[in-house]
């Protein structure tokens, strides 16, 4: 047996960090499912609850994978949305209709067996169904309840529904990228839909820790607007503008010059050399070490003051080389630089694939029908096993397993619930 196989088998025997935690996943779209995906990747037993009439909206997102590969439309009954494959892995799938009178008692039975519930419905949805947090904590006082909404659970002044682009617009993020005269720029990655659930998971972990000490659960209320605005405030954009530096500086960051994205013969590179040592390394790589002592560029304050002249010099240098040539020269001198890659190349970087930070997405039935990569876990544990090794469930695939084996319902009871369209 070779060394890699021994390592893999040893890794499979390691415990999973959250193996003693059961999560009831009442989420849809991206923000909520991403939170529960992270919990599942950490080993929690995640039970994905969907309406029997229509499942999570992510199941309808193009493109799809099927026996014949990828396509923008479904070509057969086995075609599955790439979004669903990406977001629903390592989850058990059940159905439950909370609008049915019988649904509430079934829901209560589920809550009694769970440690955490995560939902991202529109604000007040579960309260209107009579199963909000006030009712939940009477059923299970230890329950950690996490809601992810656009503007917070108590904010009646804002719309109940929120999309990532709406949150990007209101958070100020759209005015942090681009040139000063550009229109607002939507960030291509759905940052609000990804940042809010990460804060949700942090809150869940803290609340679980407290519940283990005190025996009492609590409500973690995550606002997408709050999460993204908090991250925008990492930089004092408005203050910089009052000090004479535009809050939108395009491809460069003048206050850290040399710092930015610059063209080459065949693409672009990123150059980040804000310290004195790094700036000297850049001038050496550019073939003009004497400029490190030029009064225009010899200190950070001087480089900031003369950033336009410095950027023009950098562009002349980078434009004379290919991206690979420029990066090699800069790195050899000690100036941090990298080629600007497209998502295809980035997600297949052997370094991130080897660490499980991205991974191939497989069709549950047909396997690797197309070259598609999705989310992994962006960290490793020395004494734990994490990650995704189970395919996404079909709608209601694990009803018998959860309702029968976990809750102890008889086969007749399960059939009755199906006939009544409760599950």
pLDDT tens for each residue of the chain, 423 residues long:
334 333 344 457 899 999 999 999 999 999 999 999 999 999 999 999 999 998 999 999 999 999 999 999 999 999 999 999 999 999 999 999 999 999 999 999 999 999 999 999 999 999 999 999 999 999 999 999 999 999 998 887 777 788 999 999 999 999 999 988 899 999 999 999 999 999 999 999 999 999 999 999 999 999 999 999 999 999 888 887 888 777 788 899 888 999 999 999 999 999 999 999 999 999 999 999 999 999 999 999 999 999 999 999 999 999 999 999 999 999 999 999 999 999 999 999 999 999 999 999 999 999 999 999 999 999 999 999 999 999 999 999 999 999 999 999 999 999 999 999 999
Residue of 45, 10, 49 whose CA lies nearest to 26: 49
Vertex 332 angle, CA 351 and 329, to 5° = 100
Write phi, then psi, for 307 (nearest 5 degrees): -65, -30
Q: Is residue 38 part of a domain?
A: yes
**149 burial level (CB within 10 Å; 0-12, 13-18, 19+):** buried
Contact partners, residue 385, CB within 8 Å, separation at least 6: 11, 12, 13, 14, 15, 16, 43
Do 258 and 402 fall into the same domain? no
CATH code at position 199 = 3.40.50.10540
Q: Does 188 lie in the same domain as 98? A: yes
pLDDT tens for residues 230-255? Answer: 999 998 888 878 887 777 888 998 88
CA distance 329 to 335: 9
Of 287, 314, 339, which closes a domain? 339
> Does any domain span residue 344?
no
Residue 241 lies in a domain: no
Let me know whether 52 and 105 are in one domain. Answer: yes
Residues 8 and 145 both lie in one domain: yes
Residues 127 and 209 in one domain: yes
List 382's β-bridge partners, or say none: none
Is residue 165 one of the residues assigned to a domain? Answer: yes
* CATH code at position 257: 3.30.1540.10
Q: Has residue 347 been placed in a domain? A: no
Whether residues 141 and 87 fall in one domain: yes
Is residue 304 packed enough to be buried (19+ CB in 10 Å), middle (13-18) or exposed (0-12)? Answer: middle
E strands present in 153-298: 219-223, 259-263, 268-272
Half-sphere exposure of 269 (CA within 13 A, CB side): 28
**Domains in the chain: how many in total?**
2
| 298 φ, ψ (degrees, to nearest 5) | -80, -15
pLDDT tens for 53-99 read: 989 999 999 999 999 999 999 999 999 999 999 999 999 999 999 99
Single residue among 293, 311, 339 that ends a domain in this structure: 339
**234 phi and psi, to 5 degrees?**
-65, -25
List Cα–Cα distances, 17 to 112, 217, 285, 383, in angstroms: 22, 20, 46, 9
- Tell whether 238 is covered by a domain: no
Is 237 contained in some domain? Answer: no
User: Among 339, 367, 390, which residue terminates a domain?
Assistant: 339
Q: How far is residue 423's CA from residue 421's CA, in Å, rounded to a whole number?
A: 5
Do residues 147 and 120 lie in contact, with contact meaning Cβ atoms separated by under 8 Å?
A: yes
254 and 105 share a domain? Answer: no
Q: What angle do CA 53, 56, 62 make, to 5 degrees?
A: 115
Query: Do both 256 and 402 map to the same domain?
Result: no
Parent domain of 287: 246-263+268-339
CA dist., res. 273 & res. 254, Å (int): 11
Q: Where are the beta strands (DSSP E) in 27-167?
A: 45-50, 64-66, 69-71, 80-81, 91-95, 116-119, 144-149
Q: Hey, is 58 helix, strand or coil?
A: helix
Question: Which 3 state secondary structure label does DSSP give 92?
Answer: strand
Same domain, 363 and 250: no
Are residues 180 and 225 both part of a single domain? yes
Phi, psi for 129 (deg, rounded to 5) = -85, 0
Shared-domain flag, residues 314 and 408: no
Residues 30 and 164 in one domain: yes
**187 found inside a domain:** yes
């Amino acid at each position: 047996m070779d060394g890699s196989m021994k390592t893999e088998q040893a890794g499979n025997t390691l415990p999973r960090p959250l193996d003693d935690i059961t999560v009831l996943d009442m989420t849809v779209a991206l923000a909520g499912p991403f939170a529960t995906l992270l919990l599942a990747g950490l080993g929690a037993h995640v039970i994905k609850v969907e309406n029997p009439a229509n499942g999570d909206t992510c199941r309808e997102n193009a493109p799809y994978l099927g026996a014949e590969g990828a396509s923008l439309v479904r070509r057969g009954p086995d075609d599955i949305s790439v979004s669903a494959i990406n977001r629903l892995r390592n989850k058990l799938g059940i159905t439950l209709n909370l609008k049915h009178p019988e649904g509430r008692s079934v829901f209560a039975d589920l809550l009694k067996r769970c440690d955490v519930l995560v939902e991202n419905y529109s604000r007040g949805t579960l309260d209107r169904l009579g199963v909000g947090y006030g009712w939940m904590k009477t059923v299970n006082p230890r329950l950690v309840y996490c809601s992810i909404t656009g503007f917070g659970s108590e904010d009646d002044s804002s719309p109940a529904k929120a999309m990532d682009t709406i949150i990007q617009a209101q958070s100020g993020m759209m005015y942090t990228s681009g040139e000063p005269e550009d229109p607002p720029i939507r960030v291509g990655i759905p940052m609000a839909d990804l940042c809010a659930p990460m804060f949700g998971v942090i809150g869940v972990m803290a609340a679980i820790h407290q519940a283990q000490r005190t025996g009492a659960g609590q409500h973690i209320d995550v606002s997408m607007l709050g999460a993204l605005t908090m991250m925008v405030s990492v930089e004092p954009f408005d203050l910089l503008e009052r000090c004479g530096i535009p809050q939108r500086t395009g491809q460069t960051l003048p206050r850290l010059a040399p710092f930015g994205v610059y063209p080459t013969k065949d693409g672009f590179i990123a150059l980040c050399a804000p310290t004195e040592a790094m700036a000297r390394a850049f001038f050496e790589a550019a073939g003009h070490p004497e400029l490190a002592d030029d009064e225009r560029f010899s200190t950070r304050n001087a480089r900031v003051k003369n950033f336009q002249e410095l950027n023009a010099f950098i562009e002349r240098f980078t434009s004379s080389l290919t991206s690979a040539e420029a990066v090699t020269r800069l790195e050899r001198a000690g100036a941090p630089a990298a080629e600007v890659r497209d998502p295809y190349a980035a997600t297949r970087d052997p370094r991130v694939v080897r660490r499980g930070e991205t991974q191939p997405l497989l069709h549950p039935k047909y396997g690797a029908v197309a070259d598609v990569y999705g989310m992994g876990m962006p960290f490793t544990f020395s004494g734990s096993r994490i990650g995704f090794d189970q395919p996404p469930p079909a709608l209601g695939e694990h009803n018998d397993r959860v309702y029968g084996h976990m809750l102890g319902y008889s086969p007749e009871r399960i059939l009755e619930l199906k006939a009544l369209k409760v599950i």
